[in-house]
């Protein structure tokens, strides 16, 4: 896969206008716009979908508000900070791209086309998962306050959310299964490979029981033999009785989408609720 980290003025301005204010200066500027141009301000809200269809080529019908924000000192300061943040993400991706792409392909076994990561100020704390109708490019809006703690984990987090967008067509009743498998694939397996240590005990606390039930089949999907699974479960500190599970050899030959379909189809015997234990 490939990621293109972009700072788009329209995307950044829209999020500054309609998300929580990141500073008193931003709040004051928004209040003045609202007071003097309330109708035009309101009309911009629906523009997000049009912007995200093709951000590079978006042209507003009325650019009055956009221009006022773009020419303000407030915006120029935010843009400078956002550009620094974008470069941190870009440099980290450039350093890890080859390793992450190789491992991701091995884990999910299907291609994800180019995604444009539309970077906004990380203080906005925005992860934009909107999929506009008639989109011409794949996009995800990104500005995560926690990214500065570890940019490697930030890149993996972006990939995890992109995968969620790619798999968003599953029905809502299967959401927990899909989320658990994505977490196993990205937050646990991919991260463990990149950090060179097991992180299988980390993740969404609400999914830990479900993940434990899926974990044996996920190891089969990854292509581990029975003997290798015994060693792997000790490494990940997730212990189960392998003899209780049917060894599904065919899972090692399918992609992640087919694995999800298998888990959904066979959830009655995979999800042994009565045997759940706290990890």
pTM for the predicted model, two decimal places: 0.93
Alpha carbon distance 248, 257 (integer Å): 16
Nearest to 218 by CA among 185, 190, 191: 185
pLDDT band at 134 (very low <50, low <70, confident <90, very high): confident
Using the CB atoms, write b or e for 189-199: b if 16+ within 10 Å: bbbbbbeeebb
Per-residue pLDDT, averaged over 184-200, amounts to 97
pLDDT tens per residue across span 228-261: 999 999 999 999 999 989 999 999 999 999 999 9
Q: Where are the domains of the chain?
A: 3-147, 167-275
Per-residue pLDDT, averaged over 189-205, amounts to 96
pLDDT band at 269 (very low <50, low <70, confident <90, very high): confident
Identify the residue whose tokens are 């941190």: 88
pLDDT tens per residue across span 65-115: 999 999 999 999 999 999 999 999 999 999 999 999 999 999 999 999 999
Burial of 19 (0-12, 13-18, 19+ CB in 10 A): middle
Per-residue pLDDT, averaged over 216-221, amounts to 97
For residue 133, what pLDDT is reported?
85
Residue 276 has pLDDT above 50, yes or no: no
Strand pairing class (126-128; 138-143): antiparallel
pLDDT tens per residue across span 30-68: 999 999 999 999 999 999 999 999 999 999 999 999 999
For residue 172, what pLDDT is reported?
86
């Amino acid at each position: 896969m490939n990621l293109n980290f972009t700072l788009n003025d329209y995307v950044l301005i829209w999020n500054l206008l309609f998300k929580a204010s990141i500073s008193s200066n931003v709040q004051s500027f928004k209040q003045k716009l609202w007071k003097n141009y309330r109708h035009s301000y309101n009309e911009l809200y629906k523009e997000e979908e049009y912007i995200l269809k093709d951000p590079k080529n978006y042209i507003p019908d009325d650019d009055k508000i956009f221009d006022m924000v773009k020419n303000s000192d407030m915006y120029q300061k935010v843009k400078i900070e956002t550009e620094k943040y974008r470069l941190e993400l870009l440099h980290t991706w450039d350093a890890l791209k080859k390793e992450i792409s190789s491992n991701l392909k091995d884990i999910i076994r299907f291609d994800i086309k180019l995604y444009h990561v539309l970077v906004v100020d990380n203080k906005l704390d925005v992860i934009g998962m909107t999929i506009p109708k008639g989109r011409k490019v794949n996009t995800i809006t990104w500005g995560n306050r926690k990214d500065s703690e570890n940019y490697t984990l930030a890149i993996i987090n972006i990939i995890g959310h992109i995968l969620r967008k790619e798999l968003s067509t599953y029905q809502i009743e299967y959401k927990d299964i899909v989320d658990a498998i994505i977490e196993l694939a990205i937050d646990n397996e991919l991260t463990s490979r990149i950090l060179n240590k097991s992180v299988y005990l980390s993740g969404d606390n609400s999914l830990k029981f479900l993940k434990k039930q899926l974990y044996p089949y996920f190891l089969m999907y990854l292509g581990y033999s029975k003997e290798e699974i015994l060693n792997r479960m000790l490494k990940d500190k997730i212990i189960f009785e392998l003899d209780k599970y049917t060894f599904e050899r065919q899972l090692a030959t399918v992609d992640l989408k087919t694995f999800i379909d298998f888990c959904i189809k066979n959830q009655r015997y995979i999800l042994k609720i009565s045997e759940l234990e706290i990890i």
